[in-house]
Chain A
């Protein structure tokens, strides 16, 4: 079956521009997660969605970051007024059950802010 997909796979943008990253989770997975991995660093938890509950935004690094999810489907991560330190791989994952379920990761979006 189809796994988690993310688009675009690569994005180069200029400092100050807004970017939107998309994640299509595995069908039927109620939980969806966004992570960031900067060069040479580990996975940094950003935000998660569980069913129709309000998302936990505590991991978002600044108010320039926001994310939305429609029901149990597609999610978008938006970064406004991008900065060079936003350059990273942004990974999306989904799971059947929050936390206890194995997370299935997408291939990531490589964002480069010039």
Chain B
């Protein structure tokens, strides 16, 4: 049973526009969320995280929003750049549980 879901397997965005990647989770015990970026033939690299005590965390062009009531988080990339093209995974943890979503492949078109 997939406890962290990324329902959009792919997304294409024009360079300079906003990219919005979405993630839903089912377990209300999750209290820490992360986004990872993965290039082909490389391991995922950490991008940004958010604790459940917050609803927004910003780091440069990357902002993560958390809606606990909807069990939904999203990653906004503004402005999108061609180098942002990668697979993005959201992840959630709570207690000793840790789960990744299936990933969304982002393509930023120059």
Contact = CB atoms under 8 A, between A and B. Distances in A.
B89 interface: yes
Interface residues of B, number: 22
Contact of A99 (B41, B43, B98): B98
A79 interface: no
Contacts, number: 52
Interface in A38-73: 41-45, 48, 56
Contacts of A105: 36, 43-45
A103 interface: yes
B49 A48 contact: no
Which of A33, A35, A102 has the most chain B CB atoms inside 10 A of its CB?
A: A102
A48 B43 contact: no
Interface string B35-57: 01000011111100100000000
**What DSSP secondary structure best describes chain B's contact surface?**
strand
A102 B43 CA distance: 13
Interface stretch (B11-19, B58-66, B70-78, B99-107): B99-107
Interface residues of A, number: 22
Interface string A76-114: 000000000000000101000011101111111000000
B100 A102 contact: no
B93 interface: yes
A99 B32 contact: yes
B34 interface: yes
B93 A100 contact: yes
A43 B95 CA distance: 19
